[in-house]
Amino acid sequence: MHFRPSIKLTLILALLAALFLRLGLWQWDRKAEKEALFERFRNAPEMSVEQALAAAESFARVEAFGRYDTERHLLLDNRIWKGRAGVHVLTPFTLSDGRTLLVNRGWLALAADRRSLPDFATGDEARTLRGRLVRPSTDGPRLGGDDVLEPDRWPQLVTYLDLEASAGVLGAPLLPWILQLDAGDASGFGDRQWQPAVMAPEVHGAYAVQWLGLLTATMVIWILLGFRRGGKPRNEE
* Predicted local distance difference test score (pLDDT) of residue 135: 92
Helix (H, G, I), strand (E, B) or coil at 208: helix
pLDDT tens digits for range 36-47: 999 999 999 999
- Checking if the pLDDT of 233 tops 80, the result is no
pLDDT of residue 93: 96
Kindly report the pTM of this predicted structure: 0.81
Spell out the residues 6+ positions from residue 182 whose beta carbon is closer than 8 angstroms to its own.
129, 130, 131, 132, 188, 192
pLDDT digits (tens, 9 = 90+) for 122-143: 998 999 999 999 998 765 555 5
pLDDT of residue 234: 56
> Is the CB of residue 8 less than 8 Å from the CB of residue 199?
no
**Does any domain span residue 218?**
yes
* Residue 61, pLDDT above cutoff 80: yes
Task: Based on the fold, state whether residues 76 and 141 are members of the same structural domain.
Answer: yes
- Owning domain of residue 219: 7-38+200-236
Residues 66 and 173 in one domain: yes
Q: How do beta strands 61-68 and 46-48 pair?
A: parallel
Residues 97 and 141 in one domain: yes
Whether 67 and 94 have beta carbons less than 8 Å apart is answered as yes
75, 88, 174, 179 from 98: Cα distances, Å: 23, 24, 11, 16
Query: Could you tell me which residues come within 8 angstroms of residue 32 by beta carbon, excluding any fewer than 6 positions away?
Result: 201
Q: Band of the pLDDT at 230, cuts 50, 70, 90? A: low
